[in-house]
């Protein structure tokens, strides 16, 4: 099961990705969590202390590893021949951060070349790694994607089994989510779930969804606003600290159950 978590900035992609990864792994699934944000912070949400999280070098910025695997030095990207199919088989094992026995995190970083401004060896390496895990791995893969639509433009989108677009419960945010879901659909991701996060009033949300999506069918899931999530965030603590009775845990757990049902289908 390859799951993409998308959505505009600040809606809760990282929090949902982290909680889902923890829940899948605690239920016996081998999970690989991938952070593809240019400002990665999934590690911290998974409970890695800030000081340690800051030391993780994203794959797309790991020039040393890239040189070792592609034979090209940083800055030599353009016009130089370097292997575009570097060996990446062992990267998750060697460079993945172990969160628990069944959960590993690889901080990939952004592979958006236009953003990074070069066809750097490290980006080529990160991209090769992503394609590799997306085509070969049989684990549950959860990708915390960069805000916006960039993630859909990389020839990777169609490899996902499920796109989860996260939205805030506002009309503006839902309009953007609708756009992202349409895009995912056009790119061939067959399953889409809209997660409306930070909800305080479920009735209004249902109405808003109806208004924005009109007659378009959309599978939606509500995750309520949970002050405990904010509190942990303020303390720099991970979501692994959330108890099973917390609102966020419960609502993401029922999302997990929904995903399992999809999988069975
Ligand atoms: N259900 C919730 N209840 C309360 N707070 C939440 C909830 N979901 C997320 N938050 C808070 O909202 C903020 C943004 O969440 P998060 O970092 O997960 O969003 P994001 O979409 O990954 O953001 P970015 O685009 O910056 O990567 C965080 O402070 C987080 O603690
Ligand atoms: Mg994030």
pLDDT by position in tens, the chain (length 265): 999 999 999 999 999 999 999 999 999 999 999 999 989 999 999 999 999 999 999 999 998 998 888 877 766 654 455 566 678 889 999 999 999 999 999 999 988 766 655 667 888 888 889 888 988 878 999 999 886 656 665 577 888 999 999 999 999 999 999 999 998 888 889 899 999 999 999 999 999 999 999 988 899 999 999 999 999 999 999 999 999 999 999 999 999 999 999 988 8
Q: Domains, the chain, ranges and CATH?
A: 2-264 (3.40.50.300)
From 42, 221, 229, the mutation candidate for ligand 1 (largest count of ligand atoms within 8 A of CB) is: 229
What's the gap in Å between 15 CA and the centre of ligand 1? Answer: 6
- The pLDDT assigned to 158 comes to 83
- The pLDDT assigned to 263 comes to 87
What's the gap in Å between 36 CA and the centre of ligand 2? Answer: 9
Cα–chain-centroid distance for residue 124? 19
Q: What is the torsion angle, in degrees rounded to the nearest 10, for the CA atoms of residue 205, residue 209, residue 149 and residue 181?
A: 130
Model pTM score = 0.94
239-246: long-range contacts, CB 8 A cutoff, minimum separation 24: 239/15, 239/18, 239/19, 239/22, 239/45, 239/46, 239/47, 240/22, 240/46, 240/47, 240/99, 241/47, 242/19
Cα–chain-centroid distance for residue 10? 13
- The pLDDT assigned to 79 comes to 44
What's the gap in Å between 165 CA and the centre of ligand 1? Answer: 13
Which ligand is in closest contact with the Cα of 45?
1
What's the gap in Å between 191 CA and the centre of ligand 1? Answer: 23
Ligand 1 pocket, residues with Cβ under 6 angstroms: 7, 9-15, 37, 147, 197-198, 223, 225-226, 229-230, 233, 248
- The pLDDT assigned to 98 comes to 97
């Amino acid at each position: 099961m390859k799951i993409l978590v998308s959505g505009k900035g600040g809606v809760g992609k990282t929090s949902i990705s982290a909680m889902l990864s923890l829940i899948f792994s605690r239920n016996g699934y081998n999970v690989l969590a991938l952070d593809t944000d240019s400002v990665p912070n999934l590690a911290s949400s998974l409970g890695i202390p800030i000081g340690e999280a800051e030391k993780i070098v994203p794959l797309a910025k790991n020039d040393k590893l890239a040189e070792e695997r592609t034979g090209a030095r940083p800055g030599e990207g353009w016009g130089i021949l370097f292997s575009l199919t570097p060996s990446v088989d062992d990267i998750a094992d060697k460079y993945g951060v172990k969160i628990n026995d069944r959960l590993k995190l690889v901080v990939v970083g952004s592979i958006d070349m236009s953003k990074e401004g070069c066809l750097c060896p490290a980006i080529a390496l990160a991209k090769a790694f992503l394609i590799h895990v997306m085509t070969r791995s049989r684990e549950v893969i959860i990708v915390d994607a960069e805000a916006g639509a960039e993630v859909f433009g990389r020839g990777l989108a169609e490899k996902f089994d499920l796109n989860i677009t996260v939205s805030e419960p506002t009309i503006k945010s839902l309009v953007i989510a609708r756009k992202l879901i349409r895009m995912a659909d056009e790119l061939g991701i067959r399953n889409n779930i809209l997660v409306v996060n930070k909800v305080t009033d479920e009735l209004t949300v249902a109405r808003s969804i109806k208004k924005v999506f009109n007659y378009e069918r959309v599978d939606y899931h509500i995750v309520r606003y949970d002050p405990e999530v904010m509190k942990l965030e303020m303390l720099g603590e991970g979501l692994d600290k959330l108890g099973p009775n917390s609102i966020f845990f419960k609502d993401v757990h029922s999302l997990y159950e929904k995903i399992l049902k999809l999988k069975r289908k």
